Structures are given as C-alpha cells and as structure tokens.
Chains A and B, each alone.
Chain A
Amino acid sequence: MGIKIILNINSKRYSVDIEPWETLNHVIREKIGLTGTKKGCETGGCGSCTVVVDGKAVYSCMMLAFQASGKDILTVEGRDNDVLLAAIRKGFMEMGGLQCGYCTPGFIMSAYALLSMNPKPSREEIKEAFVGNLCRCTGYVKIFESVERASQIISGDKRE
C-alpha cells in the first residue's frame, strides 16, 4: 500500500512513493539517496540520524516519513548559501570536532538547531543540546569547542 508524499529537503521538493511504516531515515537514505544522514541504532538511542525538521533536531529513525510530509527538513548535505551551516562546518573542521565522521552529521544538525535558536550558547547549554547524540571517538570536548567556534563565526567575532 504505497502512498505518495512531498518532502521538502534542503529547500528542494522530492515527490516519493513510500510505505506508511517507512521511517524518514529510510526514505532520506534509500529513496532520495542523501546518505549523509546516518543510522547507528534505529531505536532513538544514538543520534547519528538527527535531522532538523521545522527548526527542531529530531531522530529521523523515530519519525515516520509521512509525518514529515510538507515540513521543512534540513540534512547535513544542506542548502546552498546557508551561512549558519557553513559556520558550523568550519567550526568542526578548525577545532577537530570529529574523528571517524559517523556521528558528525547528527551533531552538526543538533548544533544547527541549537545555534539557530541560541547563537551564543554557554558550554552547559551546548552539552544539554547534545544529550541525544552519542560520539564514541572524541570524548565530546572538541565538539563543544567546535560549536563555540561556530558561534564566534556567526557573531562575526575574530578568532581568540
């Protein structure tokens, strides 16, 4: 019993045939082919699959694709000329906020949701924003520094 939905991903419209039980993660990865969004547990326990839906960070493995129909979805691949996303990417690169790269798309998406609401978060606020994301490589320190760096970049601050 397929259904047809429209997904707005990274400011592009995708018309896809889905099954009602298919997750947003499955549809993004397998049907649309945006493989930047990862999956690490498929049970809402690791955050590798995080995307931004209508401004909020959500687990794409825990949302059914049809629930995202008509909503504004952002994935790590992003849209052109997104200043905030560019700043976050720069922050992660400069501060070494990743190692294997598997959790990175999810962290970048959570950071995006955080910084779009709160451009100058404290260290504690950053930690709180990432409670849904696991990283097994970095011990998180450089991820926090990456977000702080991104925050500086969007505020136009010079590097300390």
Chain B
Amino acid sequence: MSETVVSLEREKRFIGSPLKTKEALRHVRGMGKFVDDIKLPGMLHAAIARSQLAHAKIKRIDFSKARALPGVVDILTPEDVVRMSDPLPQMTVPPASNVRDYPVAVGKVRYVGEPIAVVAAETRAIAEDAVELIEVEYEPLPAVVDAEKALTDPPALVHEEVGSNIMAHVQYSYGNIDKAMKEADRIIKVRLHFHRFSSTPLEPNAVLASYDRSENMLTVWCNNQEPSFMLPQFNSALRLPYNRMRFITQDIGGGFGCKITNYVYVILISLASMKVGRPVKWVETRTEHMLASSHGAERIFNVEVPVKNDGTVLGLKILSIDDDGAFARHEPAGLTVWAQVVPGAYRIKHVYSDMYAVFTNKCPAGPNRGFARAPHSFMIERVMDIVARELNLDPAYVRMKNYITREEMPYTTPNGCVYDDGDYPKSLSIVLDALNYTELRKKQRELWKEGRYIGIGIATTLDSGAPNFGQVKMLNPRLPLVGNAEACMLQLTPDGRFVVRLGTVPQGQSHETVTSQIIAEIFDVPVELVDVATGFDTMTHPYTMHSGTYGSRYAAMGVGAAYGAAQKLRAKVLRIASHILNEDQSFLALSNGSVVSTRDSSKSISLKRLSRIAYGMPSMLPRDTEPGLIVVNFYYNGLVEPDERKIANLALTYSYQTHGVVGELDPETGKFKITKYVIVDDAGRIINPLVVDGQVHGAAAHGIAAALFEEFRYDENGQLLSSTFVDYLSPHSVDLPDLEVHHLEIPSPFSPLGAKGVGEGGGTAHVAVINAINDALSPFGVMLEKSIATPEEIFRLVAKKSGLPL
C-alpha cells in the first residue's frame, strides 16, 4: 500500500471531534443550492414523453398536436437522438453489447416509463400538457418480467440483436468446491430471492443543460454522483471532446447509488439544449423516478452449502440470476462487485459461482446502497441461519464457529481480497450482551407456549470501501479501468486561509466538514479558516476517472487525496519558513496559525505573512521554490488488476457491522414489530462521529425499509404497481425502531488515516430483520424465500401452514 497510518505529532484537535457540519449551516436556512434552484436567462423547461407499455413496437408517433400547443418551443424526437448522438457505450460483452442503447426508445419500447421524446417549452406546465398530446401507436409484445423464464423459456426477446435475454454470464471458482462437497457431512440447499427496491433519494434526478453554439460549449448542472467517470459516455453520446463539456454538481439531495445511471438523462437533456440552442431544465417527478430512474437489481439464488455437522461451513456453490431490467447501464457490474466480499465475515474457503444477468422489460437496474455486496451478504447471512436451523444449532454459535478471527487479520480471502482489520466475534459478543441473548432465547421458548412469537435476528456484513475498478475486467477484460484514485487541490490563499477542491461528489456525506477537519488538524488552524468548495466541477476541480462518491470510498480516497495535498503543502510552507526564518526545518512546527521554531521562540512567521510572501514577493523565497501555495495531489489506493484466475484485492478497506434485532410477530395480522435494535459498527478511525453515526443510522433505516416495506412490484404485463411514495411505503418517523449503536474503532492499516469507508452499511439491517422474522416463523415450520416480509406475505405463509382459509 502506498501509505501507512500516520501518527500526528500532537494531541488531535479536530480529527475525531463531533464537529457541527459546515453543510448544515446553509441547509438549516434553506440556502442549499440544488439543480432545481438554478434559473438561467432564456431557460426552457422539459417534460419527457414515456412509454405506457412494458414491451411494444412503436408503429407511429404523431407530434403534430404537441408542436401546435402555444409555448412549445421544440421536441427532441427519437430521430433527432439517433441523428445527433451515438449509442451509449456498454459495460457488458458481446453479444449483449450489440444492443444499440439510446436515451430514448428507438423503434421499440422496453419498459414502462422508457423515454420516447423530450418537449422543451416556456413553462413546465406547457411541456407537461404537450407530452399528453403526443400520440404513440404501439404494437404490443409479450412482456418479459420473470428473470428465470427470461433465461429458460423467454416469452420474447428484449433485444433481438442479442439472440437471447442474457446480458452476461460469468463463472468464478475459488478454492475447490468439489472437494468441499465431498468432505461435507451434509449439503444444505437454499433458494432465495433478493427483491427489487431502491433508496429513492428525496431530491429527484435533475439536469440543467446549457449549450452555447458560438463556443460549441456545453455546461450542465446535474446531480450525477460521478460525472468524471461518465465522461466517456458523455463524449461518445454527445460527440463533444472533454474540454467542450463542463459538468457541475452543487448540493445533491441524496444519492445512494441511484444517481449514477442518471447520466442517461444528462445526455438526453443536453441533446435537447443542443437542438434548441437554449438552456433546458428537467426535474424528474416522483413517479418518473420510481418508474424509470434506477432500481437495485433482483437476484435469485440457488445455493448448495457443504457443511460439517459441527456447524462448519465449508463452501458455497452458487447459481444466481440477476434481473437487470431493459438495459445494461452500469449493470452487469453487479456480477463482479459482490466478489469484494466472497466469504462474508467467515472462513469459507471454497466458493463456486455461476452467475447470469438477464434483460427483462423492467426499469434498468443500477447501483443501490450496498451495491452487489448487499445481495451476496444477504445470501450468506441467510445461509448461516438456515444452516443453524438444519443442524439444530444456535445461529450465534454457527457464526462464532465460522468467523474469521482478529488473530487472522489481515485476512486474505479465497479470491485475494485482503480484509484489513476487524474483530467480528467481538462485534457479535457486544450485540449478544446488549440483547441479553441467552435469557432472551429462554424467554422466547416460554412465550411460544402462550402463542406469542418473538423473533431474534443477527447478521454480520462487510461494507467494502474504496473499490478496485479492476474487478470489472473479470467481466469484461477490455474495460480500461483499474484500481482507484482520487484528487484534491489545496490552496493557502494570500490572506492565510485555505481553499480545497475535491474530485468527490458528496450527496450528504459532509465532505466539506470532514476535509476541513483534516486540513485544520495538519496546519493547526481553526476549522473556520478552511473552505471546501461545494460539489464538483469538471472545469475547476481536479479529478480522476474514478472520482465521485460511491462504493464507500471517501474515507480512504477523498481523505487520502486531501491528506496527501496537505502534506505536500505543509512541506512547501516549512521549506519557505525555514528560508525566511533562517532555521533548520527539523526545528520548525506548525502551531496556532504560524510556523514556529521549537528551540527559539523569537523565530516565528504567521501563515498569513508567509503566504503573502509566497504570492507577492518571490524574491524572498528559496531559489528552488516556485511562487504560490497551490498543490494538486492524486491519491491511488495501490490496487492492481485481477490475475487470470480472477484473484486480486478488490477493495482497500473492509468496515463491518453486526446488528441484532428482536421483534414480535402477530400471526393474525402478519405484522412484525421490532422491539429492540442493536448495532455494532467498526468504521476504523472515526474522523467525525456525528457524520459516521448518521451514516450508520441511515444504512440501518434503508435495510429495515427494504425488509419490511419497500418493493418495486411489477404485474405480469410489466406494469409497476408501486410508483408513488403512497404505495412504495418508504418508512416515516413512526415506522422505525430506536437504534442502539456501539462502536469498535479498529483502524485500517491500509488507509491514510486508518479510517474505513462507512457509507453503505453492507445491507446488514435488511438481512438481520429478515432473519428475525424467519426466527419468529420457525414454530410454524415455514420460511420466507424473498428478502421482503410484508404483513400480507407473512400472513399467507402462516395461514397456508395452519390450513386457514386465505
């Protein structure tokens, strides 16, 4: 690894402090700036005409009535899009990559909500009215809505040019699964269905594109989470070189991965602006978001688990199918990203995985909090419980039996991932103590006699952070991405203040605050002297092709870039101070906004005076030192591409979390009420506990929501049945339990400050709750296959078993 943990020479003032966030200061006054808050002169408003059907040929589109509506300026049609742009680059391999993917439907619609055309009008209301006047004549085709049938018995092909509905097919073999199957006392079969949901950020997708014909310059305000990663897409689709496109983000109202694939809308609205020659703003409606932004992929697992009778899990033989919807627009990356956490928290040595991704007539899938690792972790944590049930062992015992221990850290997994550090058994012990587990189990059995059904669920998952892009080469060797790198530009201004510009693109993770804490710490200045530019801008911020905020990467990557920049700038400051003060550098220290000699207190210079000299009086600088105090630093996490056996370290940090849930099931209503919730989280060294706790709470809330409430349900015709908050049921304040949070703080030996990425939370809560519900269901001898347990589903399971009328 390129850097090791630093020890700061003095007591820390800012790192580790629950500093109020700089972002909060503006948000509590309503002064945040989001895309929809910007107005440009001459700006038009866009509305998008969308498919009403899941799968159909487009026979005819009549725009005449829409064009005639007063206030309509222009319409971007499918013909315009094909003429003005090139198809979007595909992540997958042939033949699936033969798909000609445009941001609008061309000739055929493939999911409900797929864009067909964009109306640009003087007002949003006029644009929406015009959309209603566009007449589309369809020839309906059978809808592909079942992933397994899409593969084995397809009612239709989503893309004829592919020849099947297979988006990708990969096989990974780690260890020796055949040997594990032979050595096993038993082989336990598990079938699971990880359902379709998303974190539905409150700020919808939004784009304001402004194309200047005279300059051939496109400027876009958007809320994409990684605009620089998307530059090849923009370049190809818009036919503009990188220096003729400028992408700006400001405040982003939540992302959670859902705002990665909105690059398609960035392209679409940019094309509209390029066609009309005026700025065009589009803000997604909530229903558009539910129908046609990004859903987390479904994954169906059929797993064989070789085990010993003592509870040792020897291996996993996985056959899985991902339902990735109508287009491969980031997927099928999910077929490789799970491999960051192949054995979960366990000493599982043999893993064989045969994985398909299929096209269906549903919203294209994309990343969602815990991308690809959450479904895999869900499977492993369900397997642990099912193994315990089959062997008549306690689920906590089975985990303790299989956990990788602290003594084995850093631990190399069968596919070469290096778990940095952690104490999984201890995290579970803390949870068990907090639950008073042994007593609780006794009480649970007593309550069964009274017809009361308590469920206890535990789970440990890993939240791998700062991922290695080389992992996509396991799927598509031609993709030109490896490792992970991030950039930071740091300036000490001539008045002794600091300006920071990052490549990261925060959506609520308080990067302005945390970065200021690091800079303030290293220069020993008040945090108020450090300004971190809000958001991201390809014109003024440094970046890499990995820049952005996703994959729990800031704590290693953003911090690494900022920390390195601070070290570079500090070195220059000390060099200049040494020259001016005529003092040996080894006796100089930064203290309270000045550089001071540790042996002669008369030798001291304030940062303010030093920086005035650096910018204004170059003759006073040492001969080999350039004027100015601006540094740019790139931090690389040191990860390399997988070898031919698909072995490599796929992430830099591996934070983990163990959750414990207790709840009571009402068999008459199917309702499961959580009565106690305990979390143990290890994010390594914590820079700001307020921020880390916020991430831990938020991840838990998303997991609980996915387990109990949220699902994108489609009917057999491919119509989405949950397209508003009223039927999608994101939880409100009264729907979530109180959370008891404990921290382990075991630093990562690999990340620059020992912090581990923490944003995603690994989906622990999701599976912990499902485990608790299945535990409560155990007296009925039934088990959920799906990863969502609505009261209806629970009621049906119980009633079916009890022979009750449904």
A residues neighboring B (CB under 8 Å): 29, 34-43, 45-46, 48, 75-78, 88-89, 92-96, 98-105, 108, 126-128, 130-144
Contact = CB atoms under 8 A, between A and B. Distances in A.
A144 B694 contact: no
Contacts of A101: 23-24, 26-27, 32, 251, 253, 508
B730 interface: yes
Given A134-B725, A135-B202, A137-B254, A34 B24 contact: no
Nearest to B730: A134
Contact of A100 (B31, B252, B726, B730): B252
Nearest to A101: B27
Contact of A130 (B200, B693, B733): B733
B508 A140 contact: no
A41 B27 contact: no
Contacts of A130: 732-734
B30 A37 contact: yes
| Most chain B CB within a 10 A radius of its CB, from A108, A128, A130, A135 | A135
A129 to B, nearest CB: 8
A9 B537 CA distance: 34
Interface of B: 18, 20-21, 23-32, 34, 36-37, 199-204, 251-256, 285-287, 507-510, 690-691, 693-694, 697-698, 700-702, 724-726, 730, 732-734, 736, 738-739
B202 A134 contact: yes
B697 A136 contact: no
B34 A102 contact: yes
Contacts of B25: 93
A137 B733 contact: no
Given A93-B25, A99-B509, A105-B30, 6 more contacts: A35-B37, A48-B202, A100-B508, A102-B253, A137-B698, A140-B697
A128 B285 CA distance: 27
Nearest to B28: A89
Nearest to A132: B732
A141 B734 contact: no
27 contacts: A36-B30, A39-B36, A43-B286, A43-B726, A45-B726, A46-B202, A46-B286, A76-B30, A92-B24, A96-B24, A99-B254, A99-B510, A100-B251, A101-B26, A102-B254, A104-B32, A108-B28, A126-B733, A135-B202, A136-B201, A136-B202, A137-B254, A137-B698, A138-B694, A138-B697, A138-B698, A139-B739
Nearest to A86: B28
Nearest to B30: A36
Contacts of A128: 733-734
B203 A100 contact: yes
Nearest to B697: A139
A104 B30 CA distance: 8
A24 B573 CA distance: 54
Contact of A77 (B30, B287, B693): B30
A96 B741 CA distance: 15
| Most chain A CB within a 10 A radius of its CB, from B31, B285, B694 | B694
A105 B252 CA distance: 15
A36 to B, nearest CB: 2
A103 B254 CA distance: 10
A136 B32 CA distance: 17
Contacts of A40: 202-204, 253, 286
A126 B733 CA distance: 9
A92 B725 CA distance: 25
A69 B200 CA distance: 34
B700 A139 contact: yes
Contacts of A46: 202, 286, 725
B725 to A, nearest CB: 3
| Most chain B CB within a 10 A radius of its CB, from A35, A101, A140, A141 | A101
A45 B724 contact: yes
A142 B693 contact: yes
Given A98-B24, A100-B252, A127-B734, A42 B30 contact: no
Contact of B701 (A108, A132, A138): A138
